[in-house]
């Protein structure tokens, strides 16, 4: 079967063009079974509509898979319409975090034939096999489809226990196209040849704002397997920097230290960053020491709020008192730290948001990200937002971390946006912060553009 995998074009201003690891994973699983697979990342396209039509004509896929986050849903539905208008017999499958949403808000569009819910490698293999053989779709766990006007949800897909059994075929894409600053997941991009990887799946915490695509049970790739992949990427593609995008790399501190130790012992000339966020309360002196030895120069901490009351509502189980000393230790060790914060939680007051802004500014951070809460489908935050009486629109075309999506805080939407801008002004328009950013920036020639971005968010 010919399978075309798509990532929607970048219709949201602050969405990065990071390597689409999800599509590579799905494509690798299908290629392993002998299917002909093509991956088209429309975030990288200057003319996405034209490029899509050309690829559909040239490749003539039997099935088109579209991976999407909620902020991409509007663009994804448009892609499905285009596919069906050109190839009406092709099956269109949606997958990714947005498919945690109720099926009536996805399969109401008859251009979409199937939803893949949760981890997708084994599900897509079985789904394609069932379509080819005209088998029983109900026997494929982890999908939702329409039948006679009804939505049919099959059994829950079990998570893949052995991640070492999964191999990524990087040849499905020209990964060298992603060695540019605009493809970095970080606020301070590098000029090094970098690539993103994941070493684990899952997260045992129950934060109200997070998706659960990979579930609550942690599953790990072995430290040796991680090292082998890093070596492969360095030798094959000349990669000089690794961005580890695990949901929570340091949840198992013993394993985290082992991986970093192996990298240091290997003598690899490589830099490492953790742009997706680590737990501040799971960082000790030994871990910092091993980070430095392994080439870690930058990481993000998921802090979210500086208010103890708000922290208590997030189910994050973070004692914010541990954050300042950890940030100081990391900074003194020469590791640049990005703090990730959110404003506009249900019931949050202006005073509590001001508390978060002041907390962020007092920390020894290099950079900070102040997002407005996004109540994504499949999260407890969405349930709470709807419960609090905020508008529950199903058109997610305006969803962004820089706009008010559904507001259940105790401030008006306009004031919420004003507070976000104030946060950026207060944090970045400081001589001390500007000097710190200059000192830690891996590519100083890129700083003017980054600073203009910060100013735009502050105005």
The whole-number pLDDT of residue 200 equals 97
Q: How many CB atoms lie within 10 A of CB 60?
A: 12
- Rounded distance between C-alpha atoms, residue 67 and residue 99, angstroms: 9
Asked whether residue 177 is domain-assigned, the answer is: no
Mean pLDDT computed over 249-269: 97
The parent domain of residue 105 ranges over 2-153
Domain boundary, last residue among 107, 136, 153? 153
Query: Residue 303: phi, psi to the nearest 5?
Result: -110, -45
Average of pLDDT values for 427-450?
88
Classify burial at 244, counting beta carbons within 10 Å of its beta carbon; exposed 0-12, middle 13-18, buried 19 or more: buried
Given 153, 176, 203, the domain boundary residue is 153
For residue 394, the model assigns a pLDDT of 58
Q: What is the pLDDT of residue 286?
A: 98
Q: Which 3-state string (H, E, C) describes 74-141? A: HHHHHHHHHHHHHCCCCEEEEECHHHHCCHHHCCCCCCCCEEECCCCHHHHHHHHHHHHHCCCHHHCC
Global pTM value = 0.93
How confident is the model over 298-340, as pLDDT tens digits?
999 999 999 999 999 999 999 999 999 999 999 999 999 999 9
Residues, the chain: 459
Same domain, 319 and 220: yes
Alpha carbon distance 230, 265 (integer Å):
13
Can you give the CATH number for the domain in which 129 is found? 3.40.50.280
User: For residues 166 and 197, what is the distance between their CA atoms, to the nearest angstrom?
Assistant: 13
CATH code, 326: 3.80.30.20
Sheet with 296-304, edge to edge strand ranges: 194-197, 241-244, 271-278, 296-304, 336-343, 367-372
**Is the pLDDT at 135 greater than 60, yes or no?**
yes
- pLDDT-derived band at 423 (thresholds 50, 70, 90) equals very high
pLDDT surpassing 60 at residue 110: yes
Distance of CA 58 to the CA centre of its chain: 31
Provide the pLDDT confidence category of residue 5 given band limits of 50, 70 and 90. very high
Do 127 and 254 lie in one domain? The reply is no
Nearby residues of 432 by Cβ (< 8 Å), 6 or more positions away: none
d(CA 204, CA 212): 10
Asked whether residue 390 carries a pLDDT value surpassing 70, the answer given is: no
Confidence of residue 14 (pLDDT cuts 50, 70, 90): low
Q: Is it the case that residue 391 has pLDDT exceeding 70? A: no
**Is 278's pLDDT higher than 90?**
yes
Tell me the pLDDT of the chain averaged across its residues.
92
Instruction: Identify whether 30 is part of a domain.
Output: yes
Residues 226 and 356 in one domain: yes
Nearest C-alpha neighbor of 186 from the set 299, 355, 58, 61: 299
Shared domain for 110 and 226, answered yes or no, is: no
Who contacts 15 (Cβ-Cβ below 8 Å, separation ≥6)? 43, 71, 72
Q: Are residues 97 and 189 in the same domain?
A: no
Q: Helices in 272-412 by DSSP H: which ranges? A: 285-294, 308-313, 323-332, 350-362, 380-387
| 169 inside domain | no
Q: Are strands 241-244 and 219-220 parallel, antiparallel or unpaired?
A: unpaired
- Number of Cβ atoms within 10 Å of the Cβ of 453: 15
For the segment 54-83, what is each residue's pLDDT rounded down to a tens digit? 999 999 999 999 999 888 888 999 999 999
Tell which of 153, 173, 202 closes a domain: 153
Two tokens, residue 333: 């060790």
Instruction: State yes or no: pLDDT of 387 exceeds 60.
Output: no
- The number of distinct structural domains making up the chain is 2
Lowest mean pLDDT across 199-213, 336-350, 378-392, 415-429: 378-392
Measured CA distances, 176 to 171, 173, 269, 386, 421 (Å):
11, 9, 19, 43, 35
* pLDDT level of residue 398 (50, 70, 90 thresholds): low
* 149 in the same domain as 209: no
Same domain for 336 and 390, yes or no, is yes
190 and 141 housed in the same domain: no
The three-state secondary structure class of 39 is: strand
Pair 123, 215 in one domain:
no
Residue 304 and residue 225 share a domain: yes
């Amino acid at each position: 079967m010919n399978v075309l995998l798509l990532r929607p074009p970048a219709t949201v201003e602050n969405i990065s063009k990071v390597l689409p690891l999800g599509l590579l994973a799905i494509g690798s699983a299908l290629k392993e079974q002998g299917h002909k697979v093509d991956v088209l990342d429309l975030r990288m396209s200057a003319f996405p509509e034209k490029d899509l039509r050309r690829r559909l004509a040239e490749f003539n896929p039997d099935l088109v898979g579209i991976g999407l986050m909620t902020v991409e849903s509007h663009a994804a539905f448009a892609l499905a319409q285009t596919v069906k208008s050109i190839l009406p017999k092709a099956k269109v499958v949606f997958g990714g975090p947005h498919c945690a949403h109720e099926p009536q808000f996805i399969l109401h569009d008859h251009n979409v034939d199937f939803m893949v819910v949760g981890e997708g490698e084994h599900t897509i293999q079985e789904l394609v096999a069932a379509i080819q053989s005209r088998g029983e779709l109900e026997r494929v766990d982890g999908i939702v489809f329409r039948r006679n006007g009804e939505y049919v949800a099959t059994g829950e897909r079990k998570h893949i226990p052995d991640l070492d059994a999964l191999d990524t075929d990087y040849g499905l894409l020209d990964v060298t196209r992603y060695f540019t600053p605009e493809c970095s997941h970080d606020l301070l991009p590098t000029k090094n040849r970098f690539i993103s990887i994941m070493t684990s799946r899952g997260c045992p915490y129950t934060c109200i704002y997070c998706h659960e695509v990979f579930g609550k049970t942690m599953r790990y790739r072995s430290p040796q397997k991680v090292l082998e992949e890093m070596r492969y990427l360095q030798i094959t593609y000349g990669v000089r920097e690794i961005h580890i995008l695990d949901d929570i790399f340091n949840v198992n501190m013993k394993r985290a230290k082992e991986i970093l130790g192996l990298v240091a012992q290997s003598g690899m000339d490589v830099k490492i960053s953790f742009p997706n966020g680590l737990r501040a309360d799971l960082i000790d002196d030994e871990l910092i020491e091993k980070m430095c030895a392994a080439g870690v120069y930058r990481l993000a901490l998921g802090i979210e709020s500086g208010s103890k009351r708000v922290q208590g509502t997030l189910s994050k189980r973070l004692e914010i008192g541990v954050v300042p000393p950890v940030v100081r230790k990391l900074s003194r060790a020469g590791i640049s730290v990005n703090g990730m914060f959110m404003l506009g939680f249900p019931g949050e007051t202006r005073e509590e948001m001001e508390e978060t802004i002041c907390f962020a500014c007092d920390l020894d951070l290099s950079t900070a990200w102040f997002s407005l809460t996004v109540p994504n489908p499949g999260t407890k935050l969405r349930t709470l937002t709807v419960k609090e009486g905020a508008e529950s629109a199903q058109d997610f075309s305006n969803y962004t971390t820089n706009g008010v999506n559904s507001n259940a805080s105790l401030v008006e939407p306009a004031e919420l946006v004003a507070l976000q801008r104030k946060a950026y002004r207060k944090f970045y328009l400081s001589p001390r912060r500007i000097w710190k950013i200059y000192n830690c920036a891996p590519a100083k020639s890129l700083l003017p553009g980054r600073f203009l971005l910060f100013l735009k968010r502050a105005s």
